[in-house]
Every structure is written in structure tokens, then in C-alpha cells.
Structure 1
Amino acid sequence: MIKHIVMWKLKDAAEGADRATNARKMKELLDACNGIVPGMGKFEVALAQPGLEATYDVVLYSEFADKAALDGYLEHPQHQALKPFFAAVRDERQCMDYEV
């Protein structure tokens, strides 16, 4: 199994919206990707919550049966379509994939 974790820190304002609005839009777009390829397991998107420690605004935690399933997700047109918006609103991005 491959675990794929991505975190984004967003700009204060971008694409005509504030950070919180863009974070909610990112979550909606990512949530819509749940189950788009075979071999995708857990797929969880969360936003930073007031009162809890967070250095990033949006996090994706996902699991894939194998590297082929992860690659299928990364190359899927629905996932690719997210990239322009995400690039426009993000300030930083961190990613880690690891096999268990």
C-alpha cells in the first residue's frame, strides 16, 4: 500500500477570494476526486481548524493499493484539472508518498 499525503499553505488572497474561501473550494474539488480510480482506498481532505495546531491550511491523506493506482490518480484528467487553481492559490506545498 502507498500512502500519499499532501499539505498546502494558501496565500492570504488569490483568484478573487480570501484564504478561507479558497481552502473550502480546494476541499470541494479534492473531495470530488474520491474514488476516481481503481485501487484508491482512504481519501480524506481536512481544513485547518481554529483552536487546533496547524501550520498548513489544507491536508490530503490518501491510500492506494499500489504505485500504479497512485499514478492513475495523479494522471487522471480530473486530478490534472485541479492543478491550475491550486498553483494560483497556494503559497507552499509539501508532499510525501511512502509504502507500507
Structure 2
Amino acid sequence: MITHIVMWTLKDTAEGNDKAANAAEMKARLLALPAKLPQVLDMRVAVGQELFASVPPTDIVLYTTFASKEDLSAYAGHPLHLEVVEFVKKIVSERRVVDFES
């Protein structure tokens, strides 16, 4: 099993919206993916929780699991995922990623 964790810091404003609106939109777009991409075994998205105080400023955390590295690669390159990535790139100021086998 592969666990894929991404942490983002959002811009204060982007695409005509404030951080809170963009975070809500990003979360909705991410959570729509598992129903369309069978490679995703589990997906969770956390927005602006207090537990993030212990890491560099983090507004959104994505936690996903995949059966294999190949499934993660298929997800990463899928056109539906890439559509979300294009939106995310416009609203994010920083991104940190961790992938590990569990």
C-alpha cells in the first residue's frame, strides 16, 4: 500500500476569491475524484485545523492511499486529476509531499 500526503499553503487571495473560498473549492474538487478514479482506495482532506500549528503554515492536507506505486502514477497522470492540479497551482503558494509504503 502507498500513502500519499500533500500539504499546501494557500495564497490569501487568488482567482478572485479569498483563502477560505478557495480552500472549500479545492476540497470539493479533490473529494470528487475517488468516485471517478478507482485507483484511489481512500482520500481524506482536512482544511485549516489547529493540529497544523506544529508544521509550517498549512491550510489543506490531503491524505490518500493506493494499492501500488503504479496506481499512484495512474492517478497522478489522469486527466481528471490534472484538471484539479491546474486549479490548485493558481491558488497555492507552497506545497509539501510525502509518499511512503505501508
- CA positional deviation for 1:40: 2.1
Q: Which residue of 1 aligns with 2:76?
A: 74
Letter in 2 for 1:2: I
Question: SS of the counterpart of 1:24?
Answer: helix
> For residues 35-74 of structure 1, what are the structure 2 equivalents within 5 Å?
35-49=35-49, 52-54=50-52, 55-74=57-76
Deviation at 1:36, TM superposition (A): 3.0
Match of 1:89 in 2: 91
Give the structure-2-normalised TM-score: 0.89
Aligned alpha-carbon RMSD (Å): 1.2
Offset at residue 42 of structure 1 (A): 1.2
Long gaps (5+) in structure 1: none
Query: Of Structure 1 and Structure 2, which has the larger fraction of its residues in helix?
Result: 2
Give, in angstroms, the shift of residue 81 of structure 1: 0.6
Whole-Å separation in 1 of the counterparts to 2:34 and 2:8: 18
| Residue ranges of structure 2 left out of the alignment (5+ in a row) | none
Q: 3-state SS of the aligned residue for 2:23? A: helix
8 Å contact kept, 2:23–2:60: yes
Aligned residues: 98
Aligned to 1:8: 8
Write the distance in 1 (CA, Å) between the matches of 2:24 and 2:61. Answer: 12
Matched residue of 1:81: which SS? helix
Q: Percent identity?
A: 43
- The CA distance in 1 between the partners of 2:70 and 2:23, in whole Å, is 29
- Contact 1:37 / 1:69 at 8 angstroms: preserved in 2? no
